[in-house]
Amino acid sequence: MTLPSPSAIDLPAHSASDRRAASPITLSTYDLGTGPAVVFCHGFPDLALGWRHQLEPVARAGFRAIAPDQRGYGGSSAPEAVEAYSLTELTGDLVGLLDALDIERAVFVGHDWGGFVAWAMPVLHPARVLGVAGICTPYMPFPGVARHLSLVDGEVERQYVAWFQQPGVAEAAMDSKVRPILTRILRTGAPIEELVRFAIADGRLDMNPFLNPEKWPPAGLPLVPPDVLDEYCRTYERTGFRGGIGWYRNIDRNAAEHPDVGTRPLDLPCLMITAEWDPGLRPEFAAPMRALCSDLEMHHVPRVGHWVQQEAPEVVNGHLLAWLRRVAR
């Protein structure tokens, strides 16, 4: 599937969330179709390209499908300051994108880290949100660094979120291993029991495939065709991983600044799609949403992994389009 080239969208100064950025923010953005706006928010280590199976079908269905490389990724701005990657800035960028495109309100669809940003939108910017769809990522607070570290008995190098907190360490190790990392990460799902067996191969839990990706046995099958993998690799070989890692370095700041995100009840249309074999964002994590979301539709996709929107696009698109036709007309 060939997408049109993305456009560089300069965020308006009054709404570009640049309180800690040294310069204005530009987002490299796919923008297809006309109609009610649907903004797709990718996660780590992904790009707007990760929504390639959704953009054209959603546009053909009568919606305006928009997917930016978010701040720190791909062709978008990547400020130096770690503080420039907090939820304040990331949600502010989405408001700025709506302003730049003259859109009053949109539906936000998020996967992985992009899901946490999408779910923060109705809490921090409710007037700009028609609805939210989470792909794998439920509406919940992001677990703090201490919680991640406790999973590996305090051994930082065995837990990637904790390891990411050390200034300069992760990018120094990862930027020379772009293809091994992406080849290991961009794979279809595998049974959880198989993934657990890989993670405790030496008798201790290892939750850091980014440090030594060559040591991890490949689970599942290659997720993307060679030309798409090449595009991912070219992009990260140019940018490195610093921008995306910056999002992780704001986890505890986000909790302190925005304690209501993930806990405040939501009174707007919500869609949640879970994946059976997602090892990190387990389907059961979405259960508390039933008490928090007054208008919630939930679907479960069996026998697929974390990249469900790429692994099972027909299933995801079917659920997403049916929901969009109900809530965004």
Instruction: Give a yes or no: residue 1 inside a domain.
Output: no
> CB of 77 within 8 A of CB of 27?
yes
Establish whether 112 is a catalytic residue: yes
Q: Are residues 137 and 268 in the same domain?
A: yes
**One domain for residues 31 and 130:** yes
Instruction: Give the C-alpha separation, 43 to 115, whole Å.
Output: 7
In a domain, 27, yes or no: yes
Domain count, the chain: 2
Give the per-residue pLDDT at 322: 98
Same domain, 78 and 199: no
Same domain, residue pair 19 and 98: yes
3-state SS, 113-125, equals: HHHHHHHHHHHHC
Same domain? For 97 and 211 the reply is no
Q: How is residue 21 written in tokens?
A: 């950025």
Q: What is the pLDDT of residue 204?
A: 87
User: Is 260 one of the annotated active-site residues of the chain?
Assistant: no
Residue from 112, 148, 206, 278 carrying the catalytic annotation: 112
Cβ(30)–Cβ(48) under 8 Å? yes
211 shares its domain with 137 = no
Q: Which residues of the chain have pLDDT under 70?
A: 1, 14-22
Catalytic residue among 111, 258, 306, 319: 306
In CATH, what number is assigned to the domain containing residue 61? 3.40.50.1820
Q: Give the model's pLDDT for residue 137.
A: 98
Which pLDDT does position 17 carry in this prediction?
53
Record the pTM.
0.96
Q: 273 and 208, same structural domain?
A: no
The DSSP bridge partners found for residue 40 are 109
Q: Which of 25, 1, 289 is nearest to 133 (CA)?
A: 289
Question: Which of 220, 235, 251 is the last residue before a domain boundary?
Answer: 251
Residue 150 and residue 39 share a domain: no
- Domain end marker among 251, 281, 299: 251
Q: Is 176 exposed, middle or buried (0-12, 13-18, 19+ CB in 10 A)?
A: exposed
Domain range for 102: 7-143+254-327
Give me the pLDDT at residue 218, please.
Answer: 83
Q: Are residues 244 and 267 in the same domain?
A: no
